[in-house]
Amino acid sequence: MRLLIFGLTIFVLLYVSCTQNSFPKENNVFGQIRIIEDREYSIAELQSGYKDGTLTIESVVHFYLQRIERIDDNGPKLNAVIVTNPNALSRAKQLDKELGQGAYRGPMHGIPVLLKDNIDTHDMPTTAGSLALANSYPLSDAHIVKKLRGAGAIILGKANLSEWANFRGEKSSSGWSGVGGQTKNPYVLDRNPCGSSSGSAAAVAANLCVVAIGTETNGSIVCPSQANGVVGIKPTVGLVSRNGIIPISWNQDTAGPIARSIEDAAICLGVLTGLDPDDGKTILSDGHAYNNYIQLIRSKNLGRMRIGYFTGADGKDSDVDILSKVAVEDMKKLGAKIIEVDQIFLNDEIGFNAFQVMLHEYKDGLNKYFASLGSDSPIRNLEELIAFNKEDKIEMEFFNQEYLEMAAAMDGMESVDYLKHIEAANLGSRINGIDRVMDSLNLDAIIAPTGSPAWKTDHANGDTFTLGSSSPAAISGYPSITVPMGYVGELPVGISIFGRQWSEGTLLDIAYLFEKATKHRREPKYLEK
């Protein structure tokens, strides 16, 4: 009898230990609807469930809100989500009612989405991660938020980010903000989630939403997507409105989708595109934008593709080199002709000019954004923000605000200095950069490793980048897509596919075929180290 009791005791202890240190699949019962707790639902799977009645939007939203509480707020405590939307469940009920009446808004109907917290929402604060804007409620939604809501998407909440989109000061730690703390990488918790859209990518990887929206100026969609083992699309600047998004650079800023598959990201991208009279850049997208990017994924192989492989990253990380060589061979198996590209897209002069442009545009953009908040804005200009940070212990605990201070010293965007730098940056990055290389070699796209495996988060010394390939497309304002290409140990690494202005369809075609052929992505394990 004692042996039986002892055995049962050991079994219970082992069971409790396992359930405390892992995330087993379980059924979450909501009424008569069963949600598989750890299942990574795709947009198509959710739509199928809504259609046949095995799922309701309310049950799905309830599931994700519970999962955010279990994994992000407790469990591993990822700090990927700053706030959840108090209206999410009531909105879900309304959208269920619409379905019951035969009103279907399209493939994003009832899809849970998280927004990076530099994207305006009228019903939640928009903070850029800064305590200076902790209680800042914009007067209206950003243009893309209106489009998402109109398409039936459920805004679950706001994702953590690198404060001020990682353009505040030197030695910053990606994923840290005064409001949200440090976002963790769900694959290995002491590793960094990379880039300013860190919370968006970590949330998608951890299945806290189906799709998230990030923003990029240089690497802030593609880097966190690759570090967290998911897909990220950085569109051509002008394809998606930036109206209602806290800015850095008029010439480089864009929003874009982050998802677990090319298909889901492509579906979301179609909702985001379109002309916006309040963002003059979107006028350029007329005739180049689509509301259905799935239709552009149509190749059965890459037999007609000439793809450049940029060798400039070779030799910087031996593990990444191995994965890159395998990815190149996979592209060849799909029929692509691979041409090695060793030409330099950018140089120090182009980088300097682009940086000066960003500083000028940052000052202009931030001051205009603060003015858009109206008379109740807690911060009225860049100088007030700098002064606030100097007085706040949390904001200045880990790193400085040199970029804010440098921007504050800049002249206006009509100054001779600005016009000189913008002309040089555009000439170098476009005409003498991607376009020149692709034209000379007759390329359809260029591939390169997105970056190195995630480094250990270090608040004393900041980020440690070994390599990155985001700058050519970022400074040019051209599109780039990252998709998983393998793992170094437990850490994911991505491959970037970039090309000419408005070439999203071609890039999606390549990325989709590569993703389906290789199936690299796997769920995170929330390892301690």
Question: What's the confidence (pLDDT) of residue 284?
Answer: 96
Give the separation between CA 45 and CA 382, rounded to whole angstroms: 46
Phi/psi class of residue 462: alpha, beta or left (left: φ > 0; alpha: ψ in -120 to 50)? left
Question: What's the confidence (pLDDT) of residue 33?
Answer: 60
The C-alpha torsion from 421 through 427 and 432 to 435, rounded to 10°, is: 130
pLDDT in tens, the chain (529 residues): 333 333 333 333 333 333 333 333 434 545 446 676 778 999 999 999 999 999 999 999 999 999 999 999 998 999 999 999 999 999 999 999 999 999 999 999 999 999 999 999 999 999 999 999 999 999 999 999 999 999 999 999 999 999 999 999 999 999 999 999 999 999 999 999 999 999 999 999 999 999 999 999 999 999 999 999 999 999 999 999 999 999 999 999 999 999 999 999 999 999 999 999 999 999 999 999 999 999 999 889 999 899 999 998 899 999 999 999 999 999 999 999 999 998 767 788 888 999 999 999 999 999 999 999 998 899 999 999 999 999 999 999 999 999 999 999 999 888 999 999 988 887 777 776 899 999 999 999 999 999 999 999 999 999 998 999 999 999 999 999 999 999 999 999 999 999 999 999 999 999 999 999 999 999 999 999 8
Question: What's the confidence (pLDDT) of residue 34?
Answer: 62
Q: How far apart are the first and last CA of the chain?
A: 42
Q: Which residues of 76-113 are buried (b: 16+ CB within 10 A; e: fewer)?
A: bebbbbbbbbeebbebbeebbebbeeeeebbbbbbbbb
Q: For 468-482, give the DSSP string.
A: B--HHHHHHT--EEE
Q: Is 331 helix (H, G, I), strand (E, B) or coil?
A: helix
Give the separation between CA 353 and CA 234, rounded to whole angstroms: 22
Helices 57-67 + 43-52 axis angle, to 10: 140
Q: Is 1 helix (H, G, I), strand (E, B) or coil?
A: coil
Q: Output the 3-class SS for 9-52.
A: HHHHHHHHHHHHHCCCCCEEEECCEEEECCCCCCHHHHHHHHHH
Phi/psi class of residue 171: alpha, beta or left (left: φ > 0; alpha: ψ in -120 to 50)? left
Are 479 and 237 in contact by the 8 Å Cβ rule? The answer is no
Are 245 and 221 in contact by the 8 Å Cβ rule? The answer is no
Active-site positions? Answer: 116, 196, 220
Are 89 and 62 in contact by the 8 Å Cβ rule? The answer is yes
The candidate with the shortest Cα–Cα distance to 240, out of 412, 458, 477, is: 477
3-state helix, strand, coil in the chain (%, to 5): 40, 15, 45
Are 350 and 424 in contact by the 8 Å Cβ rule? The answer is yes
Tokens 């990574």, residue located: 40
| Model pLDDT for residues 190-243, shown as the tens digit of each residue | 999 999 999 999 999 999 999 999 999 999 999 999 999 999 999 999 999 999
Answer yes or no: CATH 3.90.1300.10 is held by domain 37-518: yes
Token pair listed for 396 = 């200045």
Are 475 and 346 in contact by the 8 Å Cβ rule? The answer is yes
| Domain positions in the chain | 37-518
Question: What's the confidence (pLDDT) of residue 28?
Answer: 52
| Model pLDDT for residues 261-311, shown as the tens digit of each residue | 999 999 999 999 999 999 999 999 999 999 999 999 988 999 989 999 999
Question: What's the confidence (pLDDT) of residue 17?
Answer: 36
Find the helix or strand (DSSP H, E) in which 113 lies.
strand 112-116
**Whole-prediction pTM value?**
0.93
User: What's CA 265's distance to the chain center, in Å?
Assistant: 10
Give the separation between CA 515 and CA 529, rounded to whole angstroms: 28
Q: What are phi and psi of 259, to 5 degrees?
A: -150, 180
| Model pLDDT for residues 441-462, shown as the tens digit of each residue | 999 999 999 999 999 999 999 9
Token pair listed for 22 = 């892992």
Give the separation between CA 319 and CA 294, rounded to whole angstroms: 33
User: What's CA 79's distance to the chain center, in Å?
Assistant: 15
Question: What's the confidence (pLDDT) of residue 429?
Answer: 72
Sign of the alpha-carbon torsion through 10, 16, 19, 25:
positive
